[in-house]
Chain A
Amino acid sequence: MTARDQILGRLKRGLGRDRRPTDSAEARLAARSAGIIPERGADKSAEEKFSQFAEEAGKVDATLQRIASLTELPAAVADYLAGHNLPKTVRVAPSLENAPWETQPMLERAVGIAVGADTVGLSRAFAGVAETGTLVFLSGPDNPTTVNFLPPTHIAVLRADDLAGSYEQVWARIRAEGGENGGKTQLPRAVNWVTGPSRTADIEQTLLLGAHGPQRLHIVVVDDDT
């Protein structure tokens, strides 16, 4: 008997049956219904979502700025780096290659996966969740996961229209935008929720930022992304 049969057999015995009717479980998988969504996660106007998101992100030590369109992104990145005395080199996710980088000739860019020597990573968030100031990243050819985690400074670009009230709204959107195949949810290889920069309190419960992931998280909200 394989380990699988052994374990499943024991479970069925423990549940007091050979084969329990699984209707309620089948139904639950098919329904994927949201449970209680706290009031703070309720959907609201775009402006309300933005101010709640900004406030929550601030509470977890992220910084945030708002720009009108992607044309302003290169300057915003350059200013941020200068403001923090960081070297003028950025690891850029392919999804942000189309910004007008030529407007910042001094800014050195490398496109693709992050490597150990990178100091700043720039990537695009799929969504923001106002409930807790959380960013959601999806992995894919345009968005390598390592850019979000390896460089010590992370700049995330988020379209204002992509702000959701709750996490559940983001799941629904992922399913609606191609993450569903014959009734089955198809997630990208990695879905990353990021709520503030990396931290640890493992030494005497002293809170320190930047344990392994980025020490700084800067969020650039873009109003018009066309």
Chain B
Amino acid sequence: MESTTRDFRENAFEARRDPQLQDALKRLGHGFPLKRRQAAARLPEFERLRDQAREIKDHVLENLDFYLERFEERVTEQGGQVHWATDAEAARQTILEICRKAGAKTVTKSKSMIGEEIAINDFLEDHDVEPIETDLGEYIIQLRHEPPSHIIAPAIHLSMGQVEETFREKHKDLPADRLLDDPEKLLTEARTQLREKFIAADVGLTGANMLIAETGSNVLVTNEGNADLTYSLPRVHIVIASLEKIVPTLEDATAILRVLARSATGQEMSVYTTFCTGPRREGDLDGPDEYHVVLLDNGRSELLGSEFQEMLRCIRCGACLNHCPVYGTVGGHAYGWVYSGPMGAVLIPGLIGIDEAGHLPNASTLCGRCESVCPMRIPLPRMLRAWRARQFERQGTGTAGRWALKAWAFLARRPWAYRRLMGWGVALMGAMGRGRGRFRRLPLASGWTNTRDLAAPEGDTFIQQWHKGPRGDASGERLRRRG
């Protein structure tokens, strides 16, 4: 997918002015965090399960090559095929080739972030293969030619009215005077439309929540059941997954599943969790004749061994998005690429480069909510700071910013100079603001004063006041002695 990450500032401003988006984000901010909290409270072992999940994935990353080779071996033994793809283009070509060999006209798709990452839909369309998204949210945004705005709720940015509008525009063969005034009717219409497509599709393309080295299986987690119709009805099943999705055993996959849904939607377990292993077996009455797994690198191997390695623990639950004040204000599209929120702000620079995605690690207050809810305990704030440091090293920070930082560093290392300068500044501002007690406008601080007043200081810095002690009493003196 083409990124518009460079325009993050503009995107963010626009998002703030979109009332429908703001309504949707408000709903999101109330719903998911509450449900997660309740789910965590219901399971006394939840925090220990998070530790365990982190340990599993750390072990996997230290042995990634081994587990991938084992996985390939197991898939092959059971009649499936593994295809390795270094980048998005290689993955697209591989998928197209499989589709062509299968003589595929239509491909049903179960939501896959990797599918978004390699922009497989546009590519297939350009090559006369029709891709059909089957997750309800993903189907809606495909009709609207929009990218997902949330990992697990791709159409979270849309109102019911917008969905109705889209269905009326795209489902032309249906009576124009039909009622579509509640979510139930919209769902029924989408379900009916998609049913025939499920049955007619030649290829089913799914992502993978995990890959299991022990068995050569892929794990699929959905609530709708669309993934299950996607892999069980067509003649060919293609799985597209990135390298770090691998886990060692069924037990390890199970351990991670215990934290996945609880962190994502607050469910104890998602409705459908599926373990697919190879093609149809002898005697089976249904299931695909071919089973392919496309393993995508696309920059991930470069993160291994770097200070961003821990990002590869991510299981895409969306908890960090749901709890992020920045995501909650601007939504997913502002980030300008496939991923968003704190995990996106760390992962996107890793995949498309810090020069392209430099705004993202800076669009954070580093409040730490993301890390506190991440089921895999990924230190997202630390990595956001690491990207900022890299950006500074690469001269990615603007000239004014660099000078300001250098000046500040000079002063911060010389407390006497810092205090004297602050003393002058505060005294000057105190004198200037004496009448009103606040500033309507202040040179060099228009970023603040354009939208609000700045309270004027009283004339002394904090340290000066500290040394004087509180007016008219000696408690300041006492405090100082104790401290």
Contact = CB atoms under 8 A, between A and B. Distances in A.
Contacts of B302: 10, 14
B232 A195 contact: no
Interface in B210-240: 213-215, 217, 223-226, 228-229, 231-233
A187 B66 contact: no
Interface string B150-187: 00011110111001000000000000000000011011
A211 B225 contact: yes
* Interface size class, chain B: 35 or more
B154 A202 contact: yes
B31 A7 contact: no
A188 B226 contact: no
A186 B69 CA distance: 17
Interface stretch (B83-91, B124-132, B390-398, B425-433): B83-91
Contact of A167 (B229, B254, B274): B254
B70 A192 contact: no
Contacts, number: 263
B225 A203 contact: no
A8 B194 CA distance: 39
B279 interface: yes
A201 interface: yes
B251 A171 contact: yes
B468 interface: no
A212 B194 contact: yes
Interface in B127-145: 134-137, 140
Contacts of A94: 285
Nearest to A175: B250
A16 interface: yes
Contacts of B44: 38-39
Nearest to B275: A191
A62 to B, nearest CB: 10
11 contacts: A7-B86, A8-B68, A15-B65, A36-B45, A116-B195, A189-B279, A189-B280, A190-B231, A190-B276, A199-B224, A213-B225
Given A14-B303, A15-B62, A112-B285, 10 more contacts: A3-B85, A11-B64, A28-B248, A34-B254, A39-B44, A139-B281, A149-B225, A189-B276, A190-B277, A200-B223
Interface of B: 24, 27-28, 31, 43-45, 48-49, 52, 56, 59, 62-70, 74, 78, 84-86, 90, 134-137, 140, 153-156, 158-160, 163, 183-184, 186-187, 191, 194-196, 198-199, 213-215, 217, 223-226, 228-229, 231-233, 243, 248-252, 254-255, 257-258, 265, 267-281, 283-287, 295, 297, 301-306
Interface of A: 2-4, 6-8, 10-16, 20, 22, 24-26, 28-29, 32-36, 38-40, 56, 59-60, 94, 112-113, 116, 131-132, 134, 139-141, 144-146, 148-150, 167-168, 171, 184-206, 208, 210-214
